[in-house]
Structure 1
Amino acid sequence: MDSDKDWSAGGGAADAAKAARPIIYEHNGVTVDRDAYIHILEEQVKRLRADVKYLESKTTMSEDGVTDAPTPKITYVPPGQWRRVKKDAGLIANAGTLLVSGMNSANENDMRHSGRHDRLAINSSLLLGLLSDVVGEPLSDDRNVWVWPYKYLVVCEPQIRTKLRKLEQECTDQAAADEVCVRENGENKQAQEWQQQQQQQNSDKSATKSRPSEAMVRRRLCEELRLVVEFMDSQMSGIFSLRRQIEDLSLKKISFGYLWHLYKPGDMLINKAGKENQDKLQAFVVLHVTGGRAVRDRSRRFRPAADWDPESETEQKNLTLASSIGRMTPLILDCAYIDSDGDLVGPRPRRFVFPEYPGEVDIVSLDAYPLAFDNEKDRLLGHLSQRGKRFLSVVDGAHLHYRGTSLREFQGQKGNRFREYFEINPEDVDSEVMVDQAAAIDHYKQTGSFKFPLGGGVVARPTPADDSEVADYLPQSGYGEYRESDVFDDSVIDVDRRAQFVAETDMLRTVSVKHLRQLELHDEYYALMPPRVYGYAMLNRKWLPLKIDSLRNLDEVNGEPGFRKTRFEDLVLPRGHKKLLQALIKQHTSAGDETVPLSQEFSMDIVYRKGKGLVILLHGPPGVGKTSTAECVAAELGRPLLPITCGDLGGDSGEMEKSLEKFCRLAEKWRCVMLLDEADVFLGKREKGDILRNSYVAVFLRVLEYYPGVLVLTSNRVGELDEAFRSRIHVCLFYPKLDIYSSRRIWHKNLQRIRSSTVDMEIHEDEITEFYERQWHENQKSQRLRIWNGRDIRNAFQTALALAQYEFFEARRDPKIDMPRPVLRAEHFERVGSTSAFFDEYISNMHGIDGDDPYSVMAERESVRKDTMPNFAFSRQPSWKLKADTRANRSANQRRIDALLESSPSEDEDNDADSNLEEELERLKLEIQMKKLKKKAKDRKAPAS
């Protein structure tokens, strides 16, 4: 043993010094001397013995006192015995910490059972207090039963597991809480202080032996909470597995019992109807989820909320759900989407209801499902976002073109006299439209049954949970509403999740359209905007819900196949009409930036806001281009044309005045040209005793006096107009009947239109030209036939095209006939002409008219119109041509002029675009004059010779 010692020089002194120092021990990272370390071990042994004694006596201490507590365990109770074991509210003595049972009602004879555990009773005040801290909701002993799907255990699973790990760590490191720090130089003051504290604690414990230590309580909590986690792992593993599949989007099918897990506040949904029809595709954001659980009281039936939104579900579905006696309550989703009333943008409520269904269904087959589960989610989100941006850009007003079918919208249930019903039927639209959401909503609200709320409904208040889900009554607890239940109503967690989302999101605020355009918004916000916008279809003369995807800018639609822009070049107008109309309307509406409206700077009237409008009257026989002129003027100026007929204004004077004022406001707001077709219906002469007609005239006189915009009136019975209107009309333009020159141009332009179209057709143009020349001269010489007007010529072309197409289809059935495409021939027009001539002769015979156009004769007899004018002020011919045609025989140069006129794309000699033609005409005129002079000089020389 001596050989093991170090006897080197100085070694002995070092050993002696080392032996004099106390032995140092380390406990949980703290260095203590031997005595302190022994004391620590003794104290641990005492605590362990106290814990064993505590567990053996099965007593525990709460803050209020001591209650009996069995060993922590899970007790499974048969469904039929549940109410025999858990017959009272509160905790059950000498029972398990967790009581688990299947579904059964208070009625022992009710044998309904779901085949799985359905109840979980937390039979420990200590555990209820701990869970209350974890989930953030007060839990009481008298409502200690949780029912499937145990929402708090599902939603707060991470917090519960974290709390368990923390308790386990604290129990393992209990001794670490007893910190003792001893310095290396041998001083152990802190160890002595620690020993004194332990002695004081021991004396306190001996004084109150019934109070358990903090370590015992912590260990008890750890054991009970571990039971909860074991229950979650063993009995709820299917739920957590399904939720993991939902998170990673691998779940494809889902049963109704698990449907609650699929949705949460903030999820973006799309409707199944939108996948089947892109025109109905709409995204929604989830606000609140409730329902989808077992019904515990069969005497109760689902009662929809008092603010049941008729836009969310049909009344029929409401009644079906209210009368259903299912095993499960329907799942209800409170959702919202973004809409606008034209001035503000905000959320609108939408509720989806899913009744119980058997088995599993595809997630994407649900009426509304999370967008994340769609295979085309990126494409759909991009499409919805772009559509939303388009919606926001036009909702407060835009002049566009629409081609397609409008949407159908309805509110309420048809045939239910207890609920108001509103419906907008779809219509085919191919015209310019004026998008104005605010004006459309105001128009629909006048029906009294149309509702357009921003906010409110389920946006303001969540749908309340069905109380039959927690109506598991205690035996002998009273009757009716006085019966008691020990089931904890965990629907508050759904309300809390909703409140958290509403507080964090900015999607549900209501802001102005102009302000929203200035903000940087994310794609999900745009995606929530609707697929429709309300607008006024000019040709249909109706307010309609329009598809956003079918709206086109006017410049874009001009290049589309089948679309032909209305142009002045397509009209045959009397000389000077075009420039006069353009100058007046352009000056008044300030179509160009270089022109300032004179009406804003100066008014000739002494009364403020009086006489600021521009009223134009176009009068003449039917079919000479009056209405088309107004359309072309509006199109060239880039302004909407708002056509109004007597049917749009109503029957009595009061209704007519309101309608007319409404149209005048819209026309002024949209800065459009308003057209009142067949104005003589309301502008007729006032007669004594005819109060209704006189009231019409009075209303129109006042409107014409104060209307600040452009109003174009058309009439073919100008002789019936009241004399008071004459002074209120700024310009009156007369449209004479078509002459040979205008007829030629119209025929030529219609033929040219067919050639430039996409219609594959062979045209025998020479035959057709010969026909219309012959037809015009024959009708002019005839005593009974009427010269065709512009509308007659258009109708003749439509009928001839139909005949040509019919012959082509018939020829395809006969293999002997070789006809590769339809052929338009003069024969088709001759058929149309014969039927028209027969009808004209019939009318002439009926009225006994021999001579010119019978309709012109009758109009002149009734003093409503005179189609023939003694001078040539309004002829459609060039002024130089009027005199040249007085000669019976036309020269070769004159025929060349006619050929130029027929081939010219324009019919107005004052058009600047026709300068080349004008130069050619002037040259031919000079050439004619030179030949005349030469002939006169030759004639003077002839007698001399």
Structure 2
Amino acid sequence: MRAKLDEISESEDSSSSSDSSDPESEAEDTGTSSENDSTIVTAAAKKHKKAMVKSKIKDLQKQLRALDKEPDEDEDADQGDQAEQMPNSKSQTAKLLALMKMQRQDGLDVLQMQLQLLQVQIKTLRQAQVQEEEDSLNESIGSHARGLLNLELANPAGARGRKSMLERNLGQPGSAPPPNLEQRFVMEQFGEQKKKMSPKVEEKTKKKRASTVAYKRVDQLWDATLHDYKLTETVSDDGIDTWDQYIFTVRRRFDWEHKYQETLVDIKSKPLKESLQHIMAGVKGISLIQDTPNIDPNMLFLYLEETRDFINRCVEKSRDEKNRKKERKSAAIKAQHLRVLVNYLEKDYAETKRTLQPMLENGLITFDLLWALFKPNLVAYTTTYGDQDHPRAFKVDAATKQHHFMKGTWYEIEGKYLEYDGKSFGMGSMSVQISSFQGVRRISSLECFPLQFHKEAQRIKSELIERGKKFVAMEGVHYKYHKGMAFTKRKRQIVKINIDGRIMCDAAIHRRINPNYQVSTVRPNELDDGAVEMSDEDDESCGCGGESSSEEADGHRYTPSSSEDTPPLRRRFRLVKYLEGRSQIVEVDPEDKEAANARKDGLGEHGKDSGHTFSEEELLIASPVVLGFAFNEKLWLELTVSGISDVKFNEDAFDSLVLPESQKSIIKALVSSHAFHPSKSIDDIISGKGRGLCCVLHGPPGTGKTLTAEGIADLLKCPLYMVSAGDLGTDPRSLEKQLQNILDIAHSWGAILLLDEADVFLEKRSIHGIHRNALVSIFLRLLEYFQGILFLTTNRVETFDEAFVSRIHLSLRYDELSPKARHRVWKLFLDKTKATEGIEVEALTESDYKDLARRDVNGRQIKNLVRAAQALAVHQDQPLSMAHIRRVIDVAENFERDLKGGTGYSEAMRSYT
């Protein structure tokens, strides 16, 4: 101890001498410190305080030297006096002396450590030069030094005994090592104790820079005492978790503000992990393959009943003497670990069960307990884009609680459904949001809820399965009629459109034409992934399968919101395509081996087998919409399956055309030959060029040009795609892209393309009309490679460009209707009104028809006049008669007279004639 104080004194002398010998550096240090802190003491005050500390240490040294001068005889006499007062037993005397020495030595050690700590703080304060803390520390040093001196004076042992006991005590294994900061101070101040206190640090200081061929891991940490970063050795992690001894741990997570976030269960036990792999098979978002998987305890609670059933199976397996000893032991371990998990769930979720069960029995739920409704692989009910008239079902994958500082809190219900992308069937993904609400709500009033909570669950289920059959029958391309609601997405908003007309169902073309349209992707490999079945091999590997089959295991599944009267969906269906193009869903009998062999050959009893087999559950969750195109609206839409029906073709429309039979036969032959036998037509020298059919129908308005295209399309049962100049635009860049898409689509569907009033794009080119020349050039180039059927209607054929004339395959002229033709048209429309509309029509005489035929009107005007007369008769609640027709004709003639110039024009024409 005295040697250490000598070293401290020497260090103080050297520091004071250095301060006095180098006044410039002292002034520089003082100036630098004053810039950092306004409270730093001056250099003179600093010298004064150092001198005081030095004097205190010297006083301690003097007192210690006085102790050394005491004779050993006094020491021996003191020990003898104490020994006389002790009992005569030598062993007891030795024990008491040893005890006294240990007590004194402990006191010395404590004071020694306190002195070292105070010296470290003094050194730190010297660097900071804080006056108040230096004064307080100096006073503390004086008091502790006096206490140390008093203890030394009270110690009866001699100087040599004290020194030997101090050395022995420093080497005792039970003594706690000083902190790293104290070690540094001792190394600097006590030279002779350097090796004992921190031999590793001294060894490092002796080695040269980069002399050791190895690497070291260190951490750069902030030292709040030194106000600087320091390097410390990285604590090695051998991968041993403190909590690995437990089969699972319940871990609560908190954020950086110590706010609770979530609770997770970390599975450590391999038997427990293997058991949960069978219990929670097919659950999306849970990976039990990891070394330490973590699971939401809410999810474990949803599978509580399945866990109990699995425990019973494991117990039966462990008690069955027929099984091997290893299998019985494995099953017993799994049952033991699962019981611990069940005990935890029953304890932590006891209050939840007491609250949840009565609410579910009454069809009620709170927002905080919504997670208990949506168990994975459960069939949920919702609407199609919020339309209550079009319900839908999907299979739940997960229900997660979301929060946003602007949107608030909501539950995101993610699921999957049966989808078709134009190539294959598979599972699409979808999500439904349930906004937060206060208090209790009825489950059936939520935006999404389990199907079993619907008031008419069985009826809804039957309707959805039938609609699913209709959906899978729409595989491929189908020309249909739609009446009802359709949907489209525009700027993340759902737009509803009422469609009443012919459509084309084609998911592949829809996705190709609209690549950025938000529609779910299809994963074909996920079909039938919900039906998880355990084989006998799986049972043996898990050690707890027993004799229970997969169906029995599924039958014991418990859902917190289950309905026991819901029958399982076990039936399966197969899609069969007829030779004429129709499709039908046929139920599959698994026991019928002959039918199964026929399906393997690709031919079923009803036609060609498509190879797709669907379960009843997959039909239940089939998509409620198909992707298609509405011909009247010219829009790509999501069309509701329930509104789709077959097209009723009007095969008599072509026969009703008032055309010469020679022209009608030519049109019919050309169109039917190109539609059904395109390969037999003559090809151009360049392959794929000039294989289309272009027909020009020209003549006055209302003579039947458009009706010809419509009639031939219905006769051949082909789609009719009508395009006008407004659909194509007049910009050359957009025209080329739009026209190319239309030609490709028409050829893919085998549709008849009708370009109405085509003279806008086929007018003669001129030197100055560069814009028009570009339009004509684009149209001619694309038309050259079109391989479909194109009808062009115009009443200005004389303006056509010469280059287009050579590309016309058939040109038909439509003249003004003759009286005989007008007679046929009047009779045709009046008979049609009586047949289709169900309105009573008075029989017209032959003279009435002759009177009507003398009127100078075209076919379109005749149709409009009959429709107006029909409306007038319905309004007056009378049969349609000649009087209603005459009244309508008089109004139309007055309008036509005013249109041509009024009464003056008619009088001039009369005088001219």
| Band the TM-score falls in, shorter-chain normalisation | 0.5 to 0.7
Q: Distance in 1 between matches of 2:844 and 2:354?
A: 82
How has the CA–CA distance of structure 1 residues 634 and 848 changed in structure 2, closer, same or farther, with 3 Å as cutoff?
Answer: farther
- Which of 392, 403, 406 aligns to 1:323? It is 406
Match of 1:527 in 2: 620
Gaps of 5+ in 2: 1-240, 278-285, 319-324, 326-331, 528-569, 573-582, 584-601, 603-607
How has the CA–CA distance of structure 1 residues 156 and 830 changed in structure 2, closer, same or farther, with 3 Å as cutoff?
Answer: closer
Q: Distance in 2 between matches of 1:649 and 1:521?
A: 42
Match of 2:232 in 1: none
Q: Residues 503 and 630 of structure 2 are in contact (CA less than 8 Å); yes or no, is this contact kept in structure 1?
A: yes
How has the CA–CA distance of structure 1 residues 705 and 848 changed in structure 2, closer, same or farther, with 3 Å as cutoff?
Answer: farther
- Which of 436, 439, 454 aligns to 1:374? It is 454
Report the TM-score, using the length of structure 1 for normalisation. Answer: 0.52
Secondary structure of the residue aligned to 1:569 is: coil
Match of 1:587 in 2: 673
Once the two structures are superposed, what CA deviation does each residue of 1:35-55 show, in whole Å capped at 9, x if it has no partner? xxxxxxxxxxxxxxxxxxxxx
Gaps of 5+ in 1: 1-88, 92-97, 113-117, 171-176, 178-217, 292-301, 304-320, 412-420, 460-504, 508-512, 559-563, 591-596, 780-786, 809-820, 855-945
The amino acid of 1:429's aligned partner reads: I
Q: Distance in 2 between matches of 1:543 and 1:661?
A: 17
- Which of 773, 784, 788 aligns to 2:850? It is 773
Secondary structure of the residue aligned to 1:824 is: coil
Q: Residues 760 and 822 of structure 1 are in contact (CA less than 8 Å); yes or no, is this contact kept in structure 2?
A: no
The Cα of 1:718 is off from its aligned counterpart by 1.4
Q: Residues 615 and 731 of structure 1 are in contact (CA less than 8 Å); yes or no, is this contact kept in structure 2?
A: yes
How has the CA–CA distance of structure 1 residues 532 and 99 changed in structure 2, closer, same or farther, with 3 Å as cutoff?
Answer: closer
Q: Distance in 2 between matches of 1:121 and 1:669?
A: 56
Q: Distance in 1 between matches of 2:782 and 2:908?
A: 39
Match of 1:764 in 2: 842
How has the CA–CA distance of structure 1 residues 793 and 851 changed in structure 2, closer, same or farther, with 3 Å as cutoff?
Answer: farther
The Cα of 1:652 is off from its aligned counterpart by 1.3
How has the CA–CA distance of structure 1 residues 600 and 230 changed in structure 2, closer, same or farther, with 3 Å as cutoff?
Answer: closer
Match of 1:734 in 2: 813
How has the CA–CA distance of structure 1 residues 226 and 521 changed in structure 2, closer, same or farther, with 3 Å as cutoff?
Answer: closer
Q: Residues 272 and 364 of structure 1 are in contact (CA less than 8 Å); yes or no, is this contact kept in structure 2?
A: no
Match of 1:436 in 2: 506
Alignment of 1:122-201 (within 5 A): 152=300, 155=303, 159=307
Alignment of 1:756-905 (within 5 A): 756-761=835-840, 763-766=841-844, 770-771=847-848, 773-777=850-854, 779=855, 787-806=856-875, 808=876, 821-845=877-901
Q: Residues 304 and 342 of structure 2 are in contact (CA less than 8 Å); yes or no, is this contact kept in structure 1?
A: no
The Cα of 1:632 is off from its aligned counterpart by 0.5
Matched, 1:577 2:663: yes
Once the two structures are superposed, what CA deviation does each residue of 1:379-410 show, in whole Å capped at 9, x if it has no partner? 333332332332233242111222334x2232
The Cα of 1:131 is off from its aligned counterpart by 7.8
The Cα of 1:711 is off from its aligned counterpart by 1.1
Q: Distance in 1 between matches of 2:742 and 2:908?
A: 40
Q: Residues 266 and 285 of structure 1 are in contact (CA less than 8 Å); yes or no, is this contact kept in structure 2?
A: yes
Match of 2:371 in 1: 260
How has the CA–CA distance of structure 1 residues 606 and 231 changed in structure 2, closer, same or farther, with 3 Å as cutoff?
Answer: closer
Q: Residues 418 and 622 of structure 2 are in contact (CA less than 8 Å); yes or no, is this contact kept in structure 1?
A: yes
The amino acid of 1:527's aligned partner reads: L
Match of 1:8 in 2: none
How has the CA–CA distance of structure 1 residues 167 and 384 changed in structure 2, closer, same or farther, with 3 Å as cutoff?
Answer: closer
The Cα of 1:453 is off from its aligned counterpart by 3.4
Match of 2:105 in 1: none
Secondary structure of the residue aligned to 1:277 is: strand
The Cα of 1:449 is off from its aligned counterpart by 6.0
Matched, 1:702 2:781: yes
The Cα of 1:285 is off from its aligned counterpart by 1.2
Q: Residues 307 and 342 of structure 2 are in contact (CA less than 8 Å); yes or no, is this contact kept in structure 1?
A: no
Q: Distance in 1 between matches of 2:338 and 2:666?
A: 92
How has the CA–CA distance of structure 1 residues 692 and 90 changed in structure 2, closer, same or farther, with 3 Å as cutoff?
Answer: same
The Cα of 1:610 is off from its aligned counterpart by 2.5
The amino acid of 1:255's aligned partner reads: T
The Cα of 1:653 is off from its aligned counterpart by 1.8
Alignment of 1:397-416 (within 5 A): 397-405=477-485, 407-410=486-489
How has the CA–CA distance of structure 1 residues 848 and 601 changed in structure 2, closer, same or farther, with 3 Å as cutoff?
Answer: farther
Secondary structure of the residue aligned to 1:712 is: strand
Matched, 1:545 2:545: no
Q: Distance in 2 between matches of 1:624 and 1:138?
A: 71
How has the CA–CA distance of structure 1 residues 617 and 324 changed in structure 2, closer, same or farther, with 3 Å as cutoff?
Answer: closer
Match of 1:568 in 2: 654
Match of 2:399 in 1: 289
The amino acid of 1:774's aligned partner reads: D
The Cα of 1:243 is off from its aligned counterpart by 8.0
Match of 1:752 in 2: 831
The Cα of 1:522 is off from its aligned counterpart by 0.4
Match of 1:688 in 2: 767
How has the CA–CA distance of structure 1 residues 660 and 846 changed in structure 2, closer, same or farther, with 3 Å as cutoff?
Answer: farther
The Cα of 1:759 is off from its aligned counterpart by 3.0
Q: Distance in 2 between matches of 1:325 and 1:275?
A: 21
Q: Distance in 2 between matches of 1:434 and 1:372?
A: 35
The amino acid of 1:433's aligned partner reads: I
Match of 2:60 in 1: none
How has the CA–CA distance of structure 1 residues 830 and 90 changed in structure 2, closer, same or farther, with 3 Å as cutoff?
Answer: same
Once the two structures are superposed, what CA deviation does each residue of 1:466-492 show, in whole Å capped at 9, x if it has no partner? xxxxxxxxxxxxxxxxxxxxxxxxxxx
The amino acid of 1:290's aligned partner reads: T
Q: Distance in 2 between matches of 1:800 and 1:848?
A: 29
How has the CA–CA distance of structure 1 residues 254 and 654 changed in structure 2, closer, same or farther, with 3 Å as cutoff?
Answer: same
How has the CA–CA distance of structure 1 residues 750 and 272 changed in structure 2, closer, same or farther, with 3 Å as cutoff?
Answer: closer
Number of aligned residues: 573
Alignment of 1:285-434 (within 5 A): 285-291=395-401, 302-303=402-403, 321-323=404-406, 330-405=410-485, 407-410=486-489, 421-422=491-492, 425-434=495-504
Q: Residues 422 and 449 of structure 1 are in contact (CA less than 8 Å); yes or no, is this contact kept in structure 2?
A: no
Q: Distance in 2 between matches of 1:264 and 1:669?
A: 44
How has the CA–CA distance of structure 1 residues 286 and 749 changed in structure 2, closer, same or farther, with 3 Å as cutoff?
Answer: same
Q: Distance in 1 between matches of 2:317 and 2:765?
A: 101
How has the CA–CA distance of structure 1 residues 325 and 376 changed in structure 2, closer, same or farther, with 3 Å as cutoff?
Answer: closer
Q: Residues 566 and 631 of structure 1 are in contact (CA less than 8 Å); yes or no, is this contact kept in structure 2?
A: no
How has the CA–CA distance of structure 1 residues 838 and 848 changed in structure 2, closer, same or farther, with 3 Å as cutoff?
Answer: same
Match of 2:792 in 1: 713
How has the CA–CA distance of structure 1 residues 374 and 731 changed in structure 2, closer, same or farther, with 3 Å as cutoff?
Answer: same
The Cα of 1:286 is off from its aligned counterpart by 1.3
How has the CA–CA distance of structure 1 residues 852 and 657 changed in structure 2, closer, same or farther, with 3 Å as cutoff?
Answer: farther
How has the CA–CA distance of structure 1 residues 683 and 849 changed in structure 2, closer, same or farther, with 3 Å as cutoff?
Answer: farther
How has the CA–CA distance of structure 1 residues 251 and 450 changed in structure 2, closer, same or farther, with 3 Å as cutoff?
Answer: same
Once the two structures are superposed, what CA deviation does each residue of 1:578-622 show, in whole Å capped at 9, x if it has no partner? 1111111112212xxxxxx2x524526433323222211111100
Q: Distance in 2 between matches of 1:133 and 1:610?
A: 65
The amino acid of 1:571's aligned partner reads: L
Q: Distance in 1 between matches of 2:422 and 2:901?
A: 59
Match of 1:635 in 2: 714
Q: Distance in 2 between matches of 1:120 and 1:720?
A: 79
Alignment of 1:508-527 (within 5 A): 517-527=610-620
- Please tell me whether Structure 1 or Structure 2 has the larger radius of gyration of its CA atoms: 2
The Cα of 1:529 is off from its aligned counterpart by 2.3
Once the two structures are superposed, what CA deviation does each residue of 1:834-859 show, in whole Å capped at 9, x if it has no partner? 232223333433899779999xxxxx
**RMSD between superposed Cα atoms in Å:** 5.2
Match of 1:453 in 2: 521
How has the CA–CA distance of structure 1 residues 533 and 401 changed in structure 2, closer, same or farther, with 3 Å as cutoff?
Answer: same
Once the two structures are superposed, what CA deviation does each residue of 1:894-942 show, in whole Å capped at 9, x if it has no partner? xxxxxxxxxxxxxxxxxxxxxxxxxxxxxxxxxxxxxxxxxxxxxxxxx
Q: Residues 164 and 226 of structure 1 are in contact (CA less than 8 Å); yes or no, is this contact kept in structure 2?
A: no
Q: Residues 269 and 369 of structure 1 are in contact (CA less than 8 Å); yes or no, is this contact kept in structure 2?
A: yes
